[in-house]
Structure 1
Amino acid sequence: MSDLIDAAVSTLKQKMQGGLDDGTAKFVIGDEGAIMVDANGPRAGDEPADVTLTADAETFQAIMAGDINPAAAFMTGKLSVDGDMGLAMKLGGLIG
C-alpha cells in the first residue's frame, strides 16, 4: 500500500466522520491503489462497489486538500464516475 493511500484514508476519516449508510464507493487513484468507503468508513481496499470514482494522484490530492471541488473535477474530465451517480454526489458532498 502506498503512502498516498494511507494519507488519503486518514484524511477521508476526518472529513467523513463515519461511513456511507446506503452503499459502497471506491476511489481508484492512478497507479497508487484504491480506497473503499462503506458503512464502516474509509479503508484501503479494492472490491466491487456501487460507484467507482477514478482520478490521477494529483487530482485526488487536490480534492482532498479542498483545492478542487469533486463536481468540478468531474465536469472537467479529471474525475470519472462509474455506477450510482446519486451515491457519487452524496460522497462528493461529504468530502468536498
Structure 2
Amino acid sequence: MSLSAIAQRLQRGLDKRPLEDSIKFDCGADGTLTLSGGSAQLVDRPADCTIGISLANLEKMIAGKLNPVTAFATGRLKVSGDMSVALKLGKLLG
C-alpha cells in the first residue's frame, strides 16, 4: 500500500470524524502524511504530534495487523509532541 492509498483511507475516517489537532506521520524517505482538521495530505508541515514510523509498519498499523501500543513499546514507532493527540488516532482508525 502506498502512502497515497493510506492517505485516502484516512481521509474516509476524517470525513466522518475530523480531528481538532494535527498529526504528522513521518515515514522518512517514503514521505510524510499530515492529518489536520478534515484533510489528509502528503505534505510536511508542523503538527501537534509527529509519529515517526516506517511505511511498512504504518501499512500494518492501518490494516490492524500492528497494535500501536506494541509498536511504541518495541520502538517501531516514535512519538514527539503532544502524546494525547496520538491517542486520538484510534478513533480515526476505528
Where on the TM-score scale, by shorter chain, does this alignment land: which range? 0.7 to 0.9
Q: Please, which of 7, 10, 17 is the counterpart of residue 9 of structure 1?
A: 7
CA distance in 1, matches of 2:79, 2:69: 10
Q: Please, which of 74, 85, 88 is the counterpart of residue 86 of structure 2?
A: 88
CA distance in 2, matches of 1:61, 1:75: 18
> How many equivalent pairs are there?
93
Give the fraction of aligned pairs with identical amino acids, expressed as a percent: 33
Whether the 8 Å CA contact 1:35–1:44 is kept in 2: the answer is yes
Q: Secondary structure at the match of 2:44?
A: coil
- 1:73 corresponds in structure 2 to 71
CA distance in 2, matches of 1:44, 1:19: 17
CA distance in 1, matches of 2:12, 2:54: 22
Distance 1:15 1:40, change over 3 A: closer
Whether the 8 Å CA contact 1:55–1:79 is kept in 2: the answer is yes
Distance 1:92 1:75, change over 3 A: farther
CA distance in 2, matches of 1:40, 1:19: 5
> Displacement of 1:70 after TM fit?
1.4
The CA RMSD over aligned residues, in Å, is 1.7
Return the TM-score normalized by structure 1: 0.85
Unaligned runs of 5+ in 2: none
Unaligned runs of 5+ in 1: none
Structure 2 counterpart of 1:45, one-letter code: V
